[in-house]
């Protein structure tokens, strides 16, 4: 045996190069050795027959919370790695608002090492922008960057003070790093549980105006112009904010953004009669905003789709709606729900996979998310037509709090490989 691994009968899909064709791929020593339509298997190679399934780069999740350290009752690195592998994810950028927050270089190195120890998932830590993610005093951005932090932010908490945000943008720019903002004006969002409107009024829920998102986006775009730094807006969910970002991009501002599947697949009616699994941050929006997010995926305004994985324990959700913790599990469902926008004609398959691979990898500045000779053999094999139903009780990983419970989807991961080693399927 040579130790080679040969994929045959697959649809090779590589958004980074535009490749989309039937063919084969050869893995040797943990890296892609060759690929193409006329590739022959070396003698003695182990074989994977794809049966026409899509072989693409392992998914790159731009934004996910891990319970560890500090909230292991919600999720551990091991359980998150299992869920990620089941979802075809081989690289994950982990948010810094853990306990303790990732505001110390030793914690950055610790997370990098813990990811390596899983054998299935590269964990790339975000550094805390402020000490303890408290929004008061800027953390040691330079030291965190040197230790391996890929970007900076305060996780699910907005960076409120304008002066602090301006200083952070300017300082992070000196290290070639982007600042990631949770775009929600804190004074307008405080205590809110749902988007302001008829539904929140009828349910008697404390509300957050949708404009809270656009207000902070408008401020930070102005600060990015002033400071010259790269601002990235996470889980953008409203038409007004997207219009501002679209115009700023056209004007040459260093801005990017992502969204998450709930914001292009669900609207506020998913909270039903106080359904806490659908309580998210930012909250689900009206249908016109959902449509605007889908349109922004298609026109390129949105740079990536992230899982926005926010694991919660059952006790975090078994509370009155206004008191329940926001957040939804998203690792195992990321691909399938994104593919819904392929099946409805919003996106091509290549564009959808690009939002999950090459484009987030480019934002993070990492050598992932592509198929090519010499690239790491981080691979996802999936059937885009295979139907299944999301069941919260059977999701892999520790977290069960999916807003998509009961959702019928098409697109199933058949196998995931990390450095040429099968880690799922």
**Domain boundaries, given as residue ranges, for the chain:** 58-364
In the residue annotation, 308 being an active-site residue is answered as yes
Please state, in angstroms and rounded to a whole number, the distance separating the CA atoms of residues 393 and 281: 22
pLDDT digits (tens, 9 = 90+) for 285-342: 999 999 999 999 999 999 999 999 999 999 999 999 999 999 999 999 999 999 999 9
Residues 170 and 226: their CA atoms lie apart, in Å, by 9
Q: Are 209 and 196 contacting, i.e. CB atoms less than 8 angstroms apart? A: yes
Phi, psi of 130 (to 5 degrees): -125, 155
On whether the CB atoms of residues 359 and 335 are closer than 8 A, the answer is no
Pair 337, 59: CB distance under 8 Å: no
Q: What φ, ψ does residue 83 adopt, rounded to 5°?
A: -65, -40
- Name which of 105, 156, 150, 158 is nearest 124 in CA terms: 150
As a whole number of angstroms, the distance between CA 30 and CA 423 comes to 13
What span, in angstroms and rounded, lies between the C-alpha atoms of 233 and 371? 28
DSSP-derived letter for residue 138 is B
Q: What average pLDDT does the chain have?
A: 97
Query: Taking Cα atoms as reference points, which of 275, 372, 395 lies closest to residue 326?
Result: 275
CA atoms within 13 A on the CB side of 148: 17
User: Tokens in use for 274?
Assistant: 């106080």
Q: What is the pLDDT of residues 151-181, one digit of tens each?
A: 999 999 999 999 999 999 999 999 999 999 9
> What CATH number has the domain spanning 58-364?
3.20.20.140
Positive or negative: CA dihedral 167, 168, 169, 173? positive
- Residues with Cβ within 8 Å of 198's Cβ and at least 6 positions away in sequence, in order, are none
* φ/ψ of residue 253, rounded to 5: -70, 140
Phi-psi category of residue 9: left, alpha or beta, with phi > 0 → left and psi -120 to 50 → alpha: left
The residue annotated as part of the active site, out of 97, 308, 316, 378, is 308
- pLDDT for the residue 194: 98
Residues 329 and 402: beta-carbon distance below 8 Å? yes
The DSSP code for 182 is -
Cis previous bond, 117, omega within 30: no
* pLDDT tens-digit profile, the chain (425 residues): 358 999 999 999 999 999 999 999 999 999 999 999 989 999 999 999 999 999 999 999 999 999 999 999 999 999 999 999 999 999 999 999 999 999 999 999 999 999 999 999 999 999 999 999 999 999 999 999 999 999 999 999 999 999 999 999 999 999 999 999 999 999 999 999 999 999 999 999 999 999 999 999 999 999 999 999 999 999 999 999 999 999 999 999 999 999 999 999 999 999 998 999 999 999 999 999 999 999 999 999 999 999 999 999 999 999 999 999 999 999 999 999 999 999 999 999 999 999 999 999 999 999 999 999 999 999 999 999 999 999 999 999 999 999 999 999 999 999 999 999 999 99
């Amino acid at each position: 045996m040579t130790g080679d691994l040969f994929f045959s009968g697959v649809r090779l899909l590589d958004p980074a190069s535009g490749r989309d064709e039937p063919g084969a791929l050869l893995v040797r020593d943990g890296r892609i050795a060759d690929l193409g339509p006329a590739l022959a298997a070396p003698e003695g190679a182990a074989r994977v027959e794809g049966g026409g399934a899509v072989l693409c780069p392992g998914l790159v999740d731009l934004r996910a919370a891990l319970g560890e350290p500090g909230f292991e009752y919600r999720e551990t690195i091991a359980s998150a790695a299992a869920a990620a592998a089941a979802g075809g994810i081989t690289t994950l950028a982990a948010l810094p608002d853990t306990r303790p927050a990732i505001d110390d270089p030793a914690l950055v190195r610790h997370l990098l090492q813990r990811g390596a120890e899983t054998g299935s998932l590269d964990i790339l830590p975000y550094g805390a922008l402020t000490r303890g993610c408290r929004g008061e005093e800027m953390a040691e951005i330079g030291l965190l960057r040197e230790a391996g932090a890929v970007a900076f932010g305060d996780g699910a908490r907005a960076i409120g003070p304008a002066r602090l945000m301006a200083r952070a943008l300017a300082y992070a720019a000196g290290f070639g790093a982007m600042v990631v903002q949770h775009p929600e004006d804190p004074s307008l969002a405080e205590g809110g549980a749902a988007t302001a409107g008829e539904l929140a009024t009828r349910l008697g829920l404390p509300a957050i105006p949708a404009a809270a998102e656009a207000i902070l986006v408008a401020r930070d775009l102005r600060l990015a112009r002033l400071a010259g730094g790269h601002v990235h807006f996470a889980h953008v969910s409203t038409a007004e904010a997207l219009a501002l970002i679209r115009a700023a991009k056209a004007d040459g501002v260093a801005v990017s953004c992502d969204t998450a599947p709930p914001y292009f697949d669900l609207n506020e009616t998913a909270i039903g009669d106080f359904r806490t699994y659908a309580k998210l941050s930012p909250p689900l929006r009206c249908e016109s905003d959902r449509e605007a997010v889908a349109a922004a995926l298609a026109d390129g305004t949105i740079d990536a789709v992230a899982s926005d994985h926010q694991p919660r324990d059952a006790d975090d959700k078994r509370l009155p709606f206004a008191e329940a913790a926001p957040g939804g599990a998203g690792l195992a469902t990321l691909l399938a729900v994104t593919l819904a926008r392929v099946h409805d004609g919003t996106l091509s398959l290549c564009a959808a996979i690009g939002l999950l691979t090459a484009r987030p990898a480019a934002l993070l500045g990492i050598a992932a998310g592509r198929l090519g000779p010499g690239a790491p053999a981080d691979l996802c094999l999936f059937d885009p037509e295979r139907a299944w139903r999301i069941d919260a009780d059977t999701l892999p990983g520790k977290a069960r709090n999916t807003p998509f419970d009961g959702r019928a989807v098409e697109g199933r991961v058949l196998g995931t490989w990390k450095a040429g080693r099968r880690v799922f399927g």
